[in-house]
Structure 1
């Protein structure tokens, strides 16, 4: 009797079909589980700010330089971001912070809200620079175009024309936040312990304090975890695990097997090579050194033209490691899984209420099984080949942030999405 021969690809196909079936069922299960949830507890008190209410000070953190870019952020600014910042300053002490905010061309209520914040900070006696651009987003884009496409940041694209890369612009905007730091150093007032970058996210003062105290302050950089949907983390572009690999899943536990996944499952600080994730605290020392201070950058145009790009928020970690910054007390880049922020209130509230609860552990099962079966994350052979070819074209070329790079070209058509 003839027997049907079993081909290994049939087994792989069956496994993949079973996996897809399982993932779909898990998705629908959690969709219906949370489609009609019980009323969430009232968390509005977390953002109740009053200049007349004394709040206990938090000690042992030192002086913090707080930096934030804003563009069309009105939906998050009130009450969450602004009140979260004010409550944080109350706990750290106005004399222990400097606030640097840069707004570029918003057309919503963001400029007005930041001007109001500036007045409140003035009454609190907070040293600051709140810089609000007087030009619109459209005017800023027109100015860049008028400067000509022979300037750095312009590359030839597959559309057959030179276009402006997005990442060099973002790096420049982030560096503008650090301009007051240079002025303070010249004045002898630049002795900061931490540089804290805040995205336009929902957070509380307690979230930031917990982040600043990650590993009792023993870190080069520490990041939160950011979410734009209740179950889905956001910043895939900058996050790299302890081996420099991309996170293969946007659902818990995010990382492939290894120490990063194990730490995430246990709720311990997660060792990574790079992160940003909505909120990140750096040891200030690399930003303050007199020679070659740490700043944001993009990959060279000559490399980007080969369809390779990397986040400025990842490259800054690579540059920090390249220059060998470390100290006995502060070492390593870490994600604090107990600090979660959201780009909207529903995402933030869900994570605050459900982190490390049974639904999160349950949903991790198909993620971990799928990552293991598909051997994710997959290698980036094309990117590696392009980097190797680029290095061979000219002696001395080097890119320490090769683990940051992806097979993408961030050149928004029509420049509509150049700015954040």
Structure 2
């Protein structure tokens, strides 16, 4: 349909990080080839960064290079790479236990964007940076139709557009924050805010404070033109350490911090598109694409909603949760209610029987972004 055409004036920098992904690549690479043929060599650059795999991932990625050359697709495919973007981690292919995971992940993601950062793509001279999009793919199952639908999120009026990712239940609850900066649930209706629930039910893009969710399209301007330019980063310390003066108050994902930094630079239009569902297991992908599955989720989710007042706290919780998530977390606090809701989910064959019975002092994530001074 016309709505799913690729605008001819846009350019796409496709970024990929792979580690031990050989099982996934059997489905991933054919879909990528189809997408590249759809976009054409004049609209796209492919940047792949792999480090430390021991399952044949590197060889599979190298096998893609002749195809990219045949179809004249500009690319950078780097395998068995060491990271040398931080002097303390020079020469490492895999993360040692002594290195914080988010520090490592921020370096890995930046490595995938190096050709964009340093201008070595040599592409698109004179192209308006506002027409350039950065697209990040996690190790997920997806289809070309997912990319096209995500691209047209909110009639393309966005700074960041995210899919929804599932590992049985909604997966990326650590990064995602609703429009009020609160943590989502792993089960439908995912977000607490009523307008967001209505948009989800209608399959319309939902404004959020932060998201990533396995597949994301971002404007390139903050990476290229902002002062200082946006980069993937960590909050300056390892998990469990207290923040020093000037550091981010809470331990957070590099993906959430990118959303935070976009907002700080005035790029505040961030949307999660419930029409785009990607998964980390092939079987989950088939399940979440069934047309009736979302209606079943909705029906079962409505069983939860009347009970929410029973487990939403009415007083502030001290400590890490209050500092990083605010005073009204979404998670179930009473064990008996966890059992009831999980049983309802299981009996209804909803997205899964895991109701997110996390402890409410979940000491990760960042302070709700509406509580941060953002202009």
Give the TM-score of the pair, scaled to structure 1.
0.67
Matched, 1:360 2:297: yes
| Residue matched to 1:407 | 363
CA distance in 1, matches of 2:190, 2:90: 39
Which of 174, 182, 191 aligns to 1:237? It is: 174
Q: 1:377 to 1:285 in 2, by over 3 A?
A: farther
Cα offset for 1:366?
2.7
Secondary structure, aligned partner of 2:289: helix
Q: 1:366 to 1:244 in 2, by over 3 A?
A: same
Q: 1:265 to 1:173 in 2, by over 3 A?
A: same
Answer yes or no: is the 8 Å Cα contact 1:241–1:271 preserved in 2. Answer: yes
Cα offset for 1:83?
1.2
Matched, 1:319 2:261: yes
CA distance in 1, matches of 2:61, 2:316: 44
Matched, 1:92 2:39: yes
| Residue matched to 2:340 | none
| Residue matched to 1:375 | 312
Report matched runs for 1:101-250 at 5 Å.
101-133=48-80, 144=89, 163-184=98-119, 187=122, 189=124, 191=127, 193-229=132-168, 232-247=169-184, 249-250=185-186
| Residue matched to 1:275 | 211
Matched, 1:344 2:281: yes
CA distance in 2, matches of 1:302, 1:370: 37
CA offset digits 1:75-98 (Å, max 9, x no partner): 1111x2111111111111121000
Cα offset for 1:115?
0.7
CA distance in 1, matches of 2:289, 2:18: 24
Higher relative helix content? 1
Cα offset for 1:146?
9.7
Q: 1:258 to 1:167 in 2, by over 3 A?
A: same
| Residue matched to 1:301 | 237
Answer yes or no: is the 8 Å Cα contact 2:142–2:279 preserved in 1. Answer: yes
Cα offset for 1:182?
2.4
Cα offset for 1:288?
1.5
RMSD: 3.2
Which blocks of at least 5 consecutive residues in structure 1 are unaligned?
1-55, 138-142, 148-152, 155-161, 326-330, 388-404, 410-420
Cα offset for 1:373?
2.7
Q: 1:378 to 1:252 in 2, by over 3 A?
A: farther
Answer yes or no: is the 8 Å Cα contact 1:59–1:92 preserved in 2. Answer: no
Q: 1:379 to 1:366 in 2, by over 3 A?
A: farther
Q: 1:323 to 1:379 in 2, by over 3 A?
A: farther
CA distance in 1, matches of 2:287, 2:207: 25
How many residue pairs get aligned? The number is: 310
Answer yes or no: is the 8 Å Cα contact 1:371–1:377 preserved in 2. Answer: no
Which blocks of at least 5 consecutive residues in structure 2 are unaligned?
244-249, 325-360, 366-375
Q: 1:127 to 1:376 in 2, by over 3 A?
A: farther
Q: 1:226 to 1:186 in 2, by over 3 A?
A: closer
Secondary structure, aligned partner of 1:167: helix
Q: 1:146 to 1:109 in 2, by over 3 A?
A: closer
| Residue matched to 1:251 | 187
Give the TM-score of the pair, scaled to structure 2.
0.74
Answer yes or no: is the 8 Å Cα contact 2:166–2:278 preserved in 1. Answer: yes
